[in-house]
A and B are shown apart, each in its own frame.
Chain A
Amino acid sequence: MQIIISNSSKEPIYEQITNQIKSLILAGELQEGTAVPSMRKLAKDLRISVITTKRAYEELEKEGFIYSIVGKGSFVAEQNLELMREKKLKVIEEQLIAVITNSREIGLSLDELQQLLKILYEE
């Protein structure tokens, strides 16, 4: 499991960990039922304190990404990928509506907006 944390980032370290593990799960790199390293092992590997990995795992557990069995460790939970995708899509829709509203305000045409989106997407 590859995780890269940055000490100079504004994002707290535990959040960097949760986000990266989430992405790994959503991208299918971490399959359901796979064991994730114990929080103490992960802390040592990342050279950070145990309380930070503990916090990250607690968040992941709360959001249903992993589950823990006492004495055995933590594992990737079953994910309803379809549902997640739908949720994400809804968020994207809302954000796009906001973009459209803003564009209309400054008189940006659909063509121009599409072009802008194309450039940014391919960046």
Chain B
Amino acid sequence: MENVVELKSVTKNFKGFSVENIDLQVKKGFVTGFIGANGAGKSTTIKMIMNLLRPDSGEVKLFGLDYTAHEKEIKERIGFVYDSNVFFEGMNLKDIKRIVAPAYKHWDDTLFYQYTDQFKLPLYKKIKTFSKGMQMKASLAIALSHHAELIIMDEPTAGLDPIFRRELLDLLQELMIDGNRTIFFSTHITTDLDRIADYIAFIQNGELVFNQSLNDVAENYALVKGGMELLDRDTEKSFVHIHRAPTGFEALTGNIKAVKNTFGDSVVIEKASLEDIMYYFKGGIHHV
């Protein structure tokens, strides 16, 4: 399968924080959700994908091209939505369009007005009077109006009301129908992903924990509940993290088969949500 984004052993060091050895592929024609706690390295990774940050080492390729020789060509094919407003606050949407549109060869005015209509965005009101949701819609309208093949979004659903969140997911699904588009977006609202993500990339403390299809995540990870007497040094190895309580243990496993082999019917195995997975990887809580 074709990769639209490819990161190879990408490392970036900051004072007190680093993103280490990231190998990440974003597959063409699919939605990849990028999850991780705040400060895990999501924005840093996205900035490196957008060439706003240069990695200290490693390789970043988009559409098989690298930034040193093909910066314009790559960005021509990307639509971006950031979590903060990057447009001039004092300007209205029409003027922002006037600034952004000529930058793209394939800008489509008709499409832009179709989206501003659909999102009910006023063209002559200053951006700073927009609510957070409206600002996001404005960014989205701009990101979608030049027939981008790759749409990169940093926390697009943060600060949106549940109704618009659903509308956004519907819209994104509609965009995916022709199969030529790829979406990569970071979020910490994992319920958004259950519905539309095909692949989940999970980053923690600057390291990529996994990048798997939603099916594989569901087939590998599960919550296991059982009596404390079942736990010993060997059996504990099947778990990512164990939460112990007087009533029994609850743990996350990344290998359901192994757990079934070890414990058989003596434990309850339940579907783990993405939230469960993030929580247990973080180390969970250690008290009752």
Binding site for B on A (CB under 8 A): 10, 12, 14, 38, 40-41, 43-44, 47-52, 54-55
5 shortest A-B CB distances, which residue pairs? Answer: A51-B198, A44-B173, A40-B177, A49-B198, A51-B213
> Which chain B positions have C-beta within 8 A of A48?
195-196
- Given contact pairs A40-B176, A40-B177, A44-B176, A50 touches B215 in the complex (Cβ within 8 A): no
Give Cα A47–Cα B170 distance, bound, in whole angstroms.
7
Give the contacting residue for B214; candidates A10, A47, A51; CB below 8 A.
Answer: A51
User: Could you show 26 A-B contacts with beta carbons less than 8 Å apart?
Assistant: A10-B271, A12-B215, A12-B218, A40-B177, A40-B178, A41-B177, A43-B173, A44-B170, A44-B177, A47-B169, A47-B173, A47-B195, A48-B196, A50-B29, A50-B30, A50-B31, A50-B198, A51-B30, A51-B198, A51-B199, A51-B213, A51-B214, A52-B214, A52-B215, A54-B198, A55-B215
Inter-subunit contact A14/B215 (CB<8 Å): yes
> Which chain A positions have C-beta within 8 A of B178?
40
> Which chain B positions have C-beta within 8 A of A55?
215
Inter-subunit contact B174/A44 (CB<8 Å): yes
- The reply to whether the CB of B179 lies closer than 8 angstroms to some CB of chain A is yes
Additional A-B contact list (7), CB under 8 Å, known A12-B215, A44-B174, A44-B176: A12-B218, A14-B215, A41-B177, A44-B173, A44-B177, A47-B169, A49-B195
Q: B218 to chain A: closest CB distance in Å?
A: 7
Number of residues in B with C-beta < 8 Å to the partner? 21
Q: B43 to chain A: closest CB distance in Å?
A: 24
> Which chain B positions have C-beta within 8 A of A40?
176-179
- The reply to whether the CB of B127 lies closer than 8 angstroms to some CB of chain A is no
> Which chain B positions have C-beta within 8 A of A14?
215
Binding site for A on B (CB under 8 A): 29-31, 169-170, 173-174, 176-179, 195-199, 213-215, 218, 271
Give Cα A83–Cα B195 distance, bound, in whole angstroms.
38
- Greatest chain B CB density within 10 A among A48, A51, A55 is at A51
Give Cα A88–Cα B69 distance, bound, in whole angstroms.
62
Find the A residue at minimum CB distance from B213.
Answer: A51
Give Cα A12–Cα B196 distance, bound, in whole angstroms.
16
Give Cα A49–Cα B235 distance, bound, in whole angstroms.
35
Interface of chain A, main secondary structure: helix
Inter-subunit contact A49/B177 (CB<8 Å): no
> Which chain B positions have C-beta within 8 A of A44?
170, 173-174, 176-177
Find the B residue at minimum CB distance from A45.
Answer: B173
Find the B residue at minimum CB distance from A44.
Answer: B173
Give Cα A52–Cα B176 distance, bound, in whole angstroms.
14
Give Cα A12–Cα B29 distance, bound, in whole angstroms.
23
Find the B residue at minimum CB distance from A48.
Answer: B195
Find the B residue at minimum CB distance from A47.
Answer: B195
Give the contacting residue for B196; candidates A10, A41, A49; CB below 8 A.
Answer: A49
Give Cα A10–Cα B173 distance, bound, in whole angstroms.
25
> Which chain B positions have C-beta within 8 A of A54?
198
Give Cα A54–Cα B216 distance, bound, in whole angstroms.
13
Q: B74 to chain A: closest CB distance in Å?
A: 24
Give Cα A52–Cα B195 distance, bound, in whole angstroms.
10
Give Cα A111–Cα B81 distance, bound, in whole angstroms.
71
Find the A residue at minimum CB distance from B172.
Answer: A44
Inter-subunit contact A43/B176 (CB<8 Å): yes
Q: B150 to chain A: closest CB distance in Å?
A: 16
> Which chain A positions have C-beta within 8 A of B174?
44
> Which chain A positions have C-beta within 8 A of B31?
49-50
Inter-subunit contact B215/A51 (CB<8 Å): yes
Give Cα A74–Cα B176 distance, bound, in whole angstroms.
18
- Greatest chain A CB density within 10 A among B169, B174, B177 is at B177
Q: B13 to chain A: closest CB distance in Å?
A: 34
